[in-house]
Amino acid sequence: MTKMVLDAEAQARADVWEYAFGFLKTIVVKCAVQLEIPDLLEKRGTEDPISLPELSSLLGCPADPLHRIMRFLAFHGIFKSSSSSSVYYAPTELSRHLTRDNMGPFILLQLPGMVRGISAEALRSGENPDLKAANGEDTWTDSEFGNHMQVFSDAMACHARSTVSAIIDNYPEGFKGIGRLVDVGGRHGMALGMLVKAFPWIRGVSFDLEEVVSMAPPRDGIEFVGGSMFESVPKADAVMLMWILHDWSDKSCIDILKKCREAVPADTGKVIIVDAVIDEVGEGDEYTGARLGLDMVMMAATVKGKERTYKEWAYLLSEAGFSRHSVTNIHTIESVIEAYP
């Protein structure tokens, strides 16, 4: 056998071992986030690394297992490690994104149902044993999801901060000329509040279920309106759907989009969709893997939700009666899709 063939076989065997233990990377990173190690190292900064004994003392963790956890994380580039007589740890660009005020809460959103929903049993039956369909909505069973509601809310908030920042930086021209903007599924208005602050000429409307908006605290520049997106959407210059449509089947998406189209002026209005666009085979960027991973989450965590390709988005928009649309890359996992009546 040639050296090239032997090298390929050796790499394949190594790759299999990586898959065998790949789940541990997420588990160990989650452990670090739970202990708030990224936050602690970030406060110290790169110029003041922390020793293993000090880290052990601050966390209340025995030094030996902590050393092994940190060695694993340093190998994978989460933290920097250096050693002379003692081991020291410092933050990295990656660990800065794992703090509690950044993407850390998203790492904590690891529900067992997401694993059981992707299995031979689930694929053969076409059903996730941990999901139930009730009144057309997808829910985790009460025992599974109810106990994680705060974690879920924190994860959605950190996602909103990250995505809206990308929208503001890479899609500012999209909000020119918009007086009234309705955020469908806007919950307590955090994302909309960031947009109103960045573009103060906008009058924001956070539209969600009555029981959701009734609990929302007041926010400057935002009106809260309760209702169902399947029945009607408040009138506006533009309607925004951020991370909403990927939860729903094609039929439900078309129904929602029709209501959104009816809410905006036929000649000047638009619907702004913020969702992932799955890259075609052979194309993509640094977020392609994350988009495909998110599609696996949707398969596990919803009944008929999915991430969609450009062609699938085009089909939905055409069926909902939109005349044209465009897609803007905002350099994150989602894109902005503008749909015009």
Active-site residues, by number, are 246
- Both structure tokens of 66: 């902590």
3-state secondary structure of 242: strand
Residue holding tokens 């899709």?
Answer: 337
Give the length of the chain: 341
The rounded distance, in Å, linking the Cα atoms of 98 and 173 is 30
Q: Are 307 and 246 in contact (CB under 8 A)?
A: yes
3-state secondary structure of 142: helix
The rounded distance, in Å, linking the Cα atoms of 203 and 155 is 26
**Strand locations in 227-284 (E):** 238-242, 270-275, 277-278
- Both structure tokens of 142: 């009460």
Cβ-based neighbour number of residue 276 at 10 Å: 24
- Both structure tokens of 58: 């601050």
DSSP assigned state of 179: S
Residue holding tokens 């925004």?
Answer: 240
Nearest Cα residue to 240 out of 297, 174, 302: 174
Nearest Cα residue to 107 out of 21, 33, 38, 165: 33
The rounded distance, in Å, linking the Cα atoms of 322 and 341 is 5
Residue 138: its H or E element? strand 137-140
